[in-house]
Structure 1
Amino acid sequence: MTAAAKVSVDLGTRPDGSPAALDLEELLATRLLVQGNSGSGKSHLLRRLMEQSAPWVQQAVIDPEGDFVTLAERYGHVVVDTRRGEADLQRIAARVRQHRVSVVLNLEELDAEQQMRAAAAFLGGLFDADRDFWYPMLVVVDEAQLFAPMAAGEVSDEARKVSLGAMTNLMSRGRKRGLAGVIATQRLAKLAKNVAAEASNFLMGRTFLDIDMARAADLLGMERRQAEMFRDLKSGHFIALGPALSRRPLPVHIGPVQTAARSTSPKLMPMPQPASVEDAHDLIFMPGADEDRLFAPRRPPPVASTADVLAQLARSVPQVPAGVDGAPEGTPANAPQPAPAPAPAVPALSAEQRQAAIDAALREILGESDAAFRTIAVLYQDFLVRCRIRRVGGEPLSLPAFRRRLAVAHAGIDLAEAEADDSPWGEVLAMAGALPEDMQGTFLTVARAAFDRRPCPSDAEVAQAFGSRSPGRARRLLAYMEERQVIVCRLDGQGRRIIAIPGLAWETEPGDPNAPAGARAPEATPAD
């Protein structure tokens, strides 16, 4: 039996004029990093790679500038806009893997932080797809330094964390799930090292800064004195190295492409000549007929800050009709108004009232349908706003305390009763504290099911408690908890799962691990 022929992609030509072939199957296993300054031909290279490989492998492009949407016209890529929530993007990504559709995630309408969150949600959906849909896929990320920055910038730490985590998963753990990361960056020095280090194939283009040239030379195994060569590369010329390209550094000239980007390099053209200085003055200072349409803002309106929302709520005070507060009936509307009486001081809430208000805010958050799939930072900000609306004074809950309270509330555990000296829940809470913070709520949900002797939660229900839709992730979570000896899993004679809590006489009833997520949920009764 003869071995199956390899699938190769023609990137362009070598110095001797022979084709520069890229082994596509090897690329799927070893990933690719492309580096080049603006104008080096980096986007042209990515376009050539995607055009040549489109008939052979599914593709997903994370496109921060909307340059690759033109692939849809010729190669059938579906353009995914970002006028959607993060949960919607996760579901779309799962369907992309299920139906093997090539897509372009167009992020040009979003600012930097929104781009990071949207890309993280979409990559998370690709990564968390069920094992049955782990088909090979090229995941191309242009301007990767935006999504995996080396250092914190103007975006929030939470946005950077989720984006960097998604990129790290793509490059380090994506291979087993069929995901082959192809990342491109203008600045190697701005790209997180743990992301760049996972690539085994490299295409290095024109670079001018010493620090970027030194990193490029190190990745290619070249001596530092040879790094100067990167300054002399022409646009569209790259140095290739890697198991899918060449075992030794090899110059490559990228070939032509069939589609074009919507943005092009600037070209010089003659200046228009106005009839007179007065005409030029009118062109600048007089509005045109179609100006409103031509200059309509393309970006969505910014999200109001918490301070703006609170100020708006404070202004929303009912108008007092005439004759109220001592104003005589028939007083003219334009008559001088007496000085308003000072607002009465808001009485401070008692400890019980404050606790009840916090509990009510937690119940409202948990009652929202998408609460399980929103990030903890978003839920925390929502919680703080709700507490301020209820005039909850004093020191607010810290983020770790809120995460713990939310996990306990989601599991339907009475915290005051659990922290009592004779309560068996104290041991369970201590076991939860030994787990990573994002797993504690899932463990407490399972423990509550065991305490109530309810059927064992299915994989879908465990995933939902974790904030995911991947049954595979649920199975990995349970395996991790069993390794940490906080649960014990076994199957009965019918293949139904039973979970027990070690050291306690708590055990779930048998349950089908493959059952869909049910509508039942524990009653949330948070208390401090």
Structure 2
Amino acid sequence: MTVGIDIGENAAPGGGRMLVDLEELLATRLLVQGNSGSGKSHLLRRLLEQSAPWVQQCVIDPEGDFVTLAEKYGHVVVEADRSEADLVRVAGRVRQHRVSVVVSLEGLDAEQQMRAAAAFLGGLFDADRDHWYPMLVVVDEAQLFAPMAAGEVSDDARKLSLGAMTNLMCRGRKRGLAGVIATQRLAKLAKNVAAEASNFLMGRTFLDIDMARAADLLGMDRRQAESFRDLARGHFVALGPALSRRPVPVRIGTVETAARSTSPKLMPLPETPAEAARDLILAPLEPEPMRPRPERRPAPPPPPSTNDLLAELVRARPAASGETATPPSAEELAHAAQARAAAIDEILRDLLADPDAAFRSVAVLYQDFLVRLRIKRVPGDAPTLAAFKKRLSVARAGVEAGTIPEESWARAESAAADLPEDIQGVYLLLARAAFEGAPCPPDGEIARACGSRSPGRARRLVQYMESRGHVVTRADLRGQRIVALPDLGVETAPGDPAAWEEPQESGGSDLFAAG
């Protein structure tokens, strides 16, 4: 069945009424373009009114202009201020019961409009196959829902809306959905959405880029494109299988319903005396009612660390097993502290036994140290990062318990505290060698103490400490280095700076060694 929809008058000489083949329109879709005030909404309203008795309709209305169709033609107004899941369900019922609707997006911000339109169009698109009845889907201001480029909205909302519009124009025909989209500017509309329309109604436009694109769609040359500037309000150029095989001018006819928002009209200002107008504008404002202050709850305490939880479990274990907890004696406490210190020293020695441990960052070593503490079930709180760095410097210096008097080593640690953290271990290494009367450590060993493989870095560190007065270096008759530590009053024995070999991993053989 062929149904001709009268949208107005063919303005060409000898033209008559301009009829739109509705069945062909459902198969080939329509694109309407025109600047603000060119009459796009008037054209859409004329098309909707004339086709309302013949086909189910859905209008995506960003400004709420088409809700007046409900009064005369029975469209159901769907307010979009609801959840996306609700909009999907409503769209499914719309297709099932073949009810014409106007989806009003008025009052929503740009991103909410895009998400609501995407949800409703997605519900129409995903309806059951049994409900794929013909439907005219009109989207006003389509550049809002299928923008050419990203705007102020989130990428997620843009992708959802653009995907729904693409489905409508590219894949909607087989599901009975015929897209009719209107835009102010073709340059703002995504090309993959506009390219699927086979029918065009081009209204007044002024920008060169929009005129060139409109002329290209209509098969007109550049000189003919200038005519789009001269089109009056409500005048369009039509082309397409449902309209005309050649571009023809069209004057859109009258409509029976009116939009709630109309173009501004000039009207005289109210005759208000100047003093009265001043009183109206500058009258004292009524004080705003006091709002109750919301009760501020204190911030919750930070959650306990894993080490605190483990220590609490260790302390609570005797009570949980039913044993009677007795306060430990002073001797027991001292013995426990010694055992704890010995366990920590053993863990540090095992940690540094790995040849690659010297070249790992302190943060990585500290995490490994905490794991080993939990594995060994060392009681008490774990040492802080600062305490760990201090212990690590001592361990890297290779100091064995009892080999150096505690008072002398305390003076060494106090002198090292004036140096940066990454150099303290080097100073303690030299102090250990001086206290023991050992030869001066070679450059390779000094570099290893500061986490480096570069002997040059070791020499620069020694020179830095010497420039600050912490050490004094000299050479004996054989050219071997002696380092004196003025703050401690000791010096190392002569040592060869180059006498160093990289320690090798023990165990395992070279699979590729020659037999």
Counting aligned pairs with the same residue, the percent is: 78
For residues 215 and 270 of structure 1, do their structure 2 counterparts lie closer, same or farther at Cα, with a shift above 3 Å needed? same
Corresponding residue of 2:298 = 317
Task: Give 2:78's match in structure 1, choosing from 80, 93, 108.
Answer: 80
CA distance in 2, matches of 1:196, 1:348: 58
Deviation at 1:286, TM superposition (A): 3.2
Task: Give 1:123's match in structure 2, choosing from 115, 118, 121.
Answer: 121
CA distance in 2, matches of 1:287, 1:74: 47
Verify: 1:282 aligned to 2:279, yes or no.
Answer: yes
Corresponding residue of 1:11 = 7
Q: How does 1:229-378 map to 2 (within 5 A)?
A: 229-275=227-273, 277-286=274-283, 315-317=296-298, 346-348=303-305
For residues 153 and 100 of structure 1, do their structure 2 counterparts lie closer, same or farther at Cα, with a shift above 3 Å needed? same
CA distance in 1, matches of 2:196, 2:282: 54
Give CA deviations for 1:450-500 in whole Å, capped at 9, x if unaligned. Answer: xxxxxxxxxxxxxxxxxxxxxxxxxxxxxxxxxxxxxxxxxxxxxxxxxxx
For residues 288 and 117 of structure 1, do their structure 2 counterparts lie closer, same or farther at Cα, with a shift above 3 Å needed? same
Q: How does 1:74-153 map to 2 (within 5 A)?
A: 74-153=72-151
CA distance in 1, matches of 2:161, 2:151: 13
For residues 344 and 42 of structure 1, do their structure 2 counterparts lie closer, same or farther at Cα, with a shift above 3 Å needed? closer
Equivalent residue of 2:24, what SS? helix
Equivalent residue of 2:67, what SS? coil
Equivalent residue of 1:119, what SS? helix
The answer to whether the 8 A contact 1:35-1:204 is kept is yes
CA distance in 1, matches of 2:297, 2:172: 50
The answer to whether the 8 A contact 1:148-1:164 is kept is yes
Task: Give 2:217's match in structure 1, choosing from 216, 219, 234.
Answer: 219
Give the aligned length.
302
The answer to whether the 8 A contact 1:239-1:250 is kept is yes
CA distance in 2, matches of 1:35, 1:212: 9
1:82 aligned partner, one-letter code: A
1:146 aligned partner, one-letter code: L
Corresponding residue of 2:461 = none
Q: Give structure 1 stretches of 5+ with no counterpart.
A: 293-311, 319-342, 354-528
Give CA deviations for 1:197-243 in whole Å, capped at 9, x if unaligned. Answer: 00000000000011100110001011122110000000000000000
> What RMSD, in angstroms, separates the aligned Cα atoms of the two structures?
2.3
1:142 aligned partner, one-letter code: D
Deviation at 1:288, TM superposition (A): 9.6
The answer to whether the 8 A contact 1:82-1:109 is kept is no
CA distance in 1, matches of 2:76, 2:285: 36
Give CA deviations for 1:52-99 in whole Å, capped at 9, x if unaligned. Answer: 000000000000000000000000000000221000000000000000
For residues 242 and 284 of structure 1, do their structure 2 counterparts lie closer, same or farther at Cα, with a shift above 3 Å needed? same
Equivalent residue of 2:220, what SS? coil
The structure having more radius of gyration, on CA atoms, is: 2
Q: How does 1:146-161 map to 2 (within 5 A)?
A: 146-161=144-159
Farther off after superposition, 11-20 or 82-91:
11-20
2:208 aligned partner, one-letter code: D
Deviation at 1:285, TM superposition (A): 2.7
Deviation at 1:317, TM superposition (A): 3.0
The answer to whether the 8 A contact 2:30-2:199 is kept is yes
Equivalent residue of 1:69, what SS? helix
Q: How does 1:436-515 map to 2 (within 5 A)?
A: none
Corresponding residue of 1:48 = 46
* TM-score, length of structure 2 as denominator length: 0.56
CA distance in 1, matches of 2:185, 2:203: 11
CA distance in 2, matches of 1:221, 1:179: 27
2:298 aligned partner, one-letter code: V
Q: Give structure 2 stretches of 5+ with no counterpart.
A: 289-293, 311-515
Equivalent residue of 1:12, what SS? strand
Deviation at 1:347, TM superposition (A): 3.5
* TM-score, length of structure 1 as denominator length: 0.55
Deviation at 1:272, TM superposition (A): 1.2
For residues 39 and 287 of structure 1, do their structure 2 counterparts lie closer, same or farther at Cα, with a shift above 3 Å needed? farther
CA distance in 1, matches of 2:22, 2:179: 12
The answer to whether the 8 A contact 1:11-1:254 is kept is yes
CA distance in 1, matches of 2:191, 2:223: 22
CA distance in 2, matches of 1:180, 1:201: 12
Displaced runs of 4 or more, over 2 A: 285-289, 315-318, 343-350
CA distance in 1, matches of 2:189, 2:306: 50
